[in-house]
Amino acid sequence: MNQTMDYTSPPPKARLDWVDTARGLAIVLVVFGHCWRGLVQAGIVTNQFLIRHVDDFIYMFHMNAFFVLAGCFLTRHVQKASASGFVWRQVARLLYPMVLWTYVFIGLRILAGDSTNSQSGLSDLWTSPLPPLEHMWFLWALFIGMTLLGLLMKLFPALTTHKRIWYAIALAGLVFWAVVDIPLPLIPWLGETMRYTPFLAFGVALGLSTKWMSGRYPLPMVSLIVFLVLGFAAGYLPIKSLSHGTASAVMTVVFLQMAQWLSHWWSGKTLGNVLQQLGRMTMAIFLAHTIFSAATRIVLLKFGVNDPIVHLTLGTATGVIGPTVMYHFAQRLNLSRILGF
């Protein structure tokens, strides 16, 4: 993993390969992270040191990566559509699945009764999908961020070619998030949007770099060391601070550099192909994974299995495999759009 690796003459589709690899790695971490949190809530994982550091380490970069990657392609999406067409695309891609799956989750919780960590009753079917329910915050925050930055590009077309301006916007966003206190009633609505939109702007800047988008960025060993050090330090940094935001940005870039390196290293190999396939199914896995992970936890507990390693392994595996099977069935039955995939 050093700067001497040969990145010359990548195939034309290598750009998409590394992006799919990054998404595949990140979505597996999403499943693992939610499985981990479910075990903490259920009292299966109780070691406070692990609870603090595992959670803080993962959340320093894996959700940021999705925003950065979305930002990398924002300029071309804006340029391909009118302002209204762009907004409606975000509604269809992000808001529709958020609303649909909010009620899917509520319905399944009602059926599961008291077996889940969070119970729901029939009255919850009348719950508004906004502010977003649990992990649906991601789709809401991404919708607001994409829409705002996309319309900003429509108002000021010169922004589509100026990397430095987008780096400045990203930095300003990080500072704003760190120093401005959001009124308590607005936190469920705008808290995550303010936290992650700077990474979306950062992605726009990276997307304007030909070298970055080609997936040929080097991965020095020092980057991996910095990644691990910052990951351990995450548990000691105030979340709402510029130091945390800066460390998150550095870790996110290194994570994406790792994805670029792994995409080349695993090119044509089984594991590389699997990750790229998962990267193309991120929406399906994101929307449905907690159903399968939670069901696995419930079944294991019914059989008296309390080993956290078994829960994590099987919960993460079913959280990835279950939605993957669902995705392929939806493809065959032409139901992908209806299901929000």
Q: Is the pLDDT of residue 267 over 90?
A: no
Residue 4 maps to a domain: no
Instruction: Give the whole-angstrom CA distance, residue 173 versus residue 167.
Output: 10
pLDDT at 5: 36
pLDDT at 7: 35
Residue 8 maps to a domain: no
Instruction: Give the whole-angstrom CA distance, residue 296 versus residue 64.
Output: 28
Q: Is 215 helix (H, G, I), strand (E, B) or coil?
A: coil
Among 4-8, 192-196, 277-281, 326-330, the minimum mean pLDDT is found in 4-8
**pLDDT tens per residue, range 91-131:** 999 999 999 999 999 988 888 777 666 667 677 788 899 99
**pLDDT tens per residue, range 134-178:** 899 999 999 999 999 999 999 999 999 999 999 999 999 999 999
Residue 9 maps to a domain: no
State both tokens at 75: 């300029």
Q: Is 61 helix (H, G, I), strand (E, B) or coil?
A: coil
Please state the φ and ψ torsions of residue 175, each to the nearest 5 degrees: -65, -45
Closest CA to 239 of 187, 162, 276: 187
Instruction: Give the whole-angstrom CA distance, residue 327 versus residue 73.
Output: 24
Give the number of residues written for the chain: 341
Closest CA to 280 of 329, 313, 328: 328
* Cα torsion through 9, 13, 19, 22, rounded to 10: -70
Residue 285 maps to a domain: yes
* Cα torsion through 162, 166, 167, 172, rounded to 10: 140
Q: Is the pLDDT of residue 242 over 90?
A: yes
Number of domain units in the chain: 1
Q: 305: which DSSP letter?
A: -
Helices and strands (H, E) in the chain, number of each type: 16, 0
Residue 2 maps to a domain: no
Residue 108 maps to a domain: yes
**pLDDT tens per residue, range 306-336:** 999 999 999 999 999 999 999 999 999 999 9
**Which residues form the domain of 18?**
14-339
